[in-house]
């Protein structure tokens, strides 16, 4: 049973939450605190899976409370539940918060947000990595890109187009921008998956608050140096995967939404590897196993950690509120056929009216059989194929594809499309359309 702590100094809001969530009291064990001091008292006695806090409170503010929870209880998922007037405080809390919910939040949205965060967390089997991931608020960015965006933001003639071009080349920047713009705090009717659109929506002042004041896009190149990890190589692969995934989506005449999801998922698919840099001992153990046994990196990850960078990246992006289809593509980009047996799949929202809804009965709260969702080309298909082809590299006279999940493609009836996708790869290589800066 989930243990959830709600914190709000408004008695009417506490009463509303109790009434609104009464129907799921058998699924969640809930406590309600009227201030930060009481909340910390609860947490000192019991471990909580999630804390949901207002921002404006007497004594310990919401920002201070969540900062403290992050330091003392890093495994607890931290969610802001506040109104639009708290925008400045919400921005200040960005370093310590996983999700943002706008008041008044209905039961369906509240339940969906909390359950999704918890289910994604359950993907991880390594307790040490759980703690590390929930404590992360910023990931490595290439120094050149970081300095470029800072310089552009300070320019008297700041160009959002230039800023978006810089951000779209960077995994960490893209992920953090999308985290904020897709939070319930902004109340968008639909998810944004394109960093260019996100930059235009957020505007210069909000970007300055994020980049310059909160230091979201700080550089962590020293982590890569410690692990002898090439950030340049990783970003180059991410850019190539993103571009090829988009081209494959266009080759399948997928709609623009699928193409956008494939583009951003391709950029973010290996973001979990950056998490591993925070645990250099484990990272070096994994790479050592690869060297001594010749096994794949992913196989070594499961041996050492009982999980892989794919799940780590999906967990982090899920906590940040990135759209489900993008998170799904990151989680299963190596083995998409695992959808047939995994409990990861959640109900896709078919309209804005139904957005955020989740069934609350024990039977319906379980994930649907994944086979029902494997009926068409998706962002996951594009990213998996793009990454697999880039891993193999040479296709001269080759008809075998060791990294491609053939069971998955046969299930979708897309196996015969492989030659066309290989042509997309060869065309991209010939034209050298992807250049790294």
HEC states along the chain?
A: CEEEEEECCCHHHHHHHHHHCHHHCCCEEEEEECCHHHHHHHHHHCCCCEEEECCCCCCCCHHHHHHHHHHHCCCCEEEEEECHHHHHHHHHHHHCCCEEEECCCCHHHHHHHHHHHHHHHCCCCCHHHHHHHHCCCCCCCCHHHHHHHHHHHHCCCCCHHHHHHHHCCCHHHHHHHHHHHCCCCCCCCCCCCCHHHHHHHHHHHHHHHHHHHCCCCCCCHHHHHHCCCCHHHHHHHHHHHHHHHHHHHHHCCCCHHHHHHHHHHHHHCCCHHHHHCCCHHHHHHHHHHHHHHCCCHHHHHHHHHCCCHHHHHHHHHHHCCCCHHHHHHHHCCCCHHHHHCCCCCCCCCCCCCCCCCCCCCCCCCCCCCHHHHCCCCCHHHHHHHHHHHHHHCCCCCCCCCCCCCHHHHHHHCCHHHHHHHHHHHHHHHHHCCCCCC
Q: At what angle do helices 418-431 and 379-392 cross, to 10 degrees?
A: 60
78 and 6 both lie in a single domain: yes
Look at residue 253 and tell me whether its pLDDT is greater than 80.
yes
177 and 303 both lie in a single domain: no
281 and 359 both lie in a single domain: yes
Look at residue 219 and tell me whether its pLDDT is greater than 80.
no
| Residue 331 or residue 122, greater confidence | 331
Q: Which of 191-200, 272-281, 296-305, 367-376 has the lowest mean pLDDT?
A: 367-376
| Residue 348 or residue 94, greater confidence | 94
378 and 261 both lie in a single domain: yes
Out of 172-181, 182-191, 274-283, 372-381, the most confident range is: 274-283
247 and 387 both lie in a single domain: yes
| Residue 152 or residue 187, greater confidence | 152
| Residue 1 or residue 210, greater confidence | 1
With 0-12 / 13-18 / 19 or more C-beta atoms within 10 angstroms meaning exposed / middle / buried, residue 26 is exposed
pLDDT in tens, 331-389: 999 999 886 554 344 343 333 333 333 333 333 333 333 343 445 789 999 999 999 99
Tokens found for residue 188: 């968008």
Instruction: Tell whether 138 is covered by a domain.
Output: no
Instruction: Tell whether 131 is covered by a domain.
Output: no
27 and 75 both lie in a single domain: yes
| Residue 315 or residue 28, greater confidence | 28
Instruction: Tell whether 436 is covered by a domain.
Output: no
Out of 23-37, 184-198, 392-406, the most confident range is: 23-37
Instruction: Tell whether 129 is covered by a domain.
Output: no
Look at residue 6 and tell me whether its pLDDT is greater than 60.
yes
- pLDDT of res. 53: 95
* Distance from C-alpha of 285 to C-alpha of 67, rounded to nearest angstrom: 32
With 0-12 / 13-18 / 19 or more C-beta atoms within 10 angstroms meaning exposed / middle / buried, residue 233 is exposed
Residue written as token pair 């090829």:
244
* Distance from C-alpha of 320 to C-alpha of 97, rounded to nearest angstrom: 8
300 and 236 both lie in a single domain: yes
Look at residue 291 and tell me whether its pLDDT is greater than 60.
yes
The C-alpha angle 280, 286, 291, rounded to 5 degrees, equals: 120
| Residue 88 or residue 240, greater confidence | 240
Q: How many CB atoms lie within 10 A of CB 296?
A: 15
Average pLDDT over residues 204-213: 60
- pLDDT of res. 109: 87
* Distance from C-alpha of 21 to C-alpha of 360, rounded to nearest angstrom: 11
Residue written as token pair 């802001």:
80
285 and 178 both lie in a single domain: no
Domain containing 29 — which CATH number?
3.40.50.2300
Among the candidates 213, 238, 261, a domain finishes at: 213
Inter-residue long-range contacts of 196-205, CB under 8 Å, 24+ positions, other chains counted: 196/164, 196/165, 196/168, 198/164, 198/167, 199/160, 199/163, 199/164, 199/167, 200/160, 200/164, 202/177, 203/160, 204/153, 204/158, 204/160, 204/163
| Residue 172 or residue 327, greater confidence | 327
- pLDDT of res. 184: 67
Instruction: Tell whether 358 is covered by a domain.
Output: yes
Number of structural domains found in the chain: 3
Q: Which residues pair with 50 in a beta bridge?
A: 4, 77
Instruction: Tell whether 372 is covered by a domain.
Output: yes
372 and 426 both lie in a single domain: yes
191 and 236 both lie in a single domain: no
Pairing, β 28-33 against β 50-53: unpaired
Among the candidates 213, 239, 273, a domain finishes at: 213
Instruction: Tell whether 408 is covered by a domain.
Output: yes
254 and 209 both lie in a single domain: no
246 and 229 both lie in a single domain: yes
- With contact defined as beta carbons under 8 Å apart, do 56 and 89 qualify? yes
Instruction: Tell whether 98 is covered by a domain.
Output: yes
Q: Which of 85-89, 160-164, 274-278 has the lowest mean pLDDT?
A: 85-89
Among the candidates 81, 105, 129, a domain finishes at: 105
- The whole domain housing 80 covers 2-105
| Residue 392 or residue 123, greater confidence | 392
Domain containing 424 — which CATH number?
1.10.3210.10
- For the chain, what is the mean pLDDT? 80
Report percent pLDDT > 90 for the chain: 32
Look at residue 127 and tell me whether its pLDDT is greater than 60.
yes
Tokens found for residue 155: 């320019």
């Amino acid at each position: 049973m989930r243990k959830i702590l709600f914190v709000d100094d408004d008695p009417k809001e506490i009463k509303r939450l109790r009434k609104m969530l009464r129907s799921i009291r058998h699924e969640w064990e809930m406590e309600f605190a009227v201030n930060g001091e009481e909340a910390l008292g609860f947490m000192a006695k019991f471990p909580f899976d999630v804390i949901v806090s207002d921002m404006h409170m007497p004594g310990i503010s919401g920002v201070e409370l969540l900062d403290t929870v992050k330091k003392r209880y890093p495994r607890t998922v931290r969610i802001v539940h506040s109104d639009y007037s708290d925008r400045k405080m919400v921005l200040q809390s960005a370093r310590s918060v996983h999700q943002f919910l706008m008041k008044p939040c209905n039961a369906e949205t509240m339940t969906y947000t909390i359950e999704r965060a918890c289910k994604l967390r359950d993907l991880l089997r390594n307790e040490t990595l759980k703690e590390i991931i929930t404590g992360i608020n910023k990931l490595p960015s290439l120094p050149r890109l970081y300095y470029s965006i800072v310089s552009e933001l300070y320019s008297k003639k700041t160009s959002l187009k230039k800023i978006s071009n810089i951000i779209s080349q960077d995994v960490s920047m893209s992920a953090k921008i999308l985290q904020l713009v897709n939070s319930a705090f902004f109340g968008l009717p639909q998810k944004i998956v394109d960093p260019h659109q996100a930059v235009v929506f957020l505007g210069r002042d909000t970007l300055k608050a994020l980049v310059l004041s909160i230091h979201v896009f700080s550089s962590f190149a020293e982590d890569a140096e410690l692990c002898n990890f090439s950030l340049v190589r990783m970003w180059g692969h991410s850019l190539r995967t993103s571009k090829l995934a988009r081209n494959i989506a266009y080759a399948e005449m997928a709609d623009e939404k699928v193409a956008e999801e494939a583009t951003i998922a391709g950029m973010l698919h290996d973001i979990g590897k950056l998490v591993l840099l925070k645990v250099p001992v484990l990272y070096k153990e994994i790479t050592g196993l690869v060297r001594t046994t010749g096994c794949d990196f992913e196989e070594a990850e499961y041996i050492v950690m009982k999980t892989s960078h794919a799940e780590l990246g999906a967990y982090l992006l899920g906590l940040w509120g990135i759209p489900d289809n993008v998170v799904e593509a990151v989680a299963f980009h190596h083995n998409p056929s695992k959808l047939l047996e995994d409990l990861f799949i959640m109900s896709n929202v078919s309209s804005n009216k139904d957005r955020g809804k989740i069934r609350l009965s024990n039977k319906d709260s379980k994930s649907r059989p994944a086979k029902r969702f494997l009926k068409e080309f998706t962002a996951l298909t594009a990213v998996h194929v793009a990454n697999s082809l880039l891993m193999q590299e040479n296709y001269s006279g080759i008809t075998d594809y060791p990294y491609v999940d053939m069971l998955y493609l046969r299930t979708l009836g897309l196996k015969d499309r492989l030659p066309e996708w290989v042509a997309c790869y060869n065309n991209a290589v010939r034209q050298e359309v992807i250049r790294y800066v």
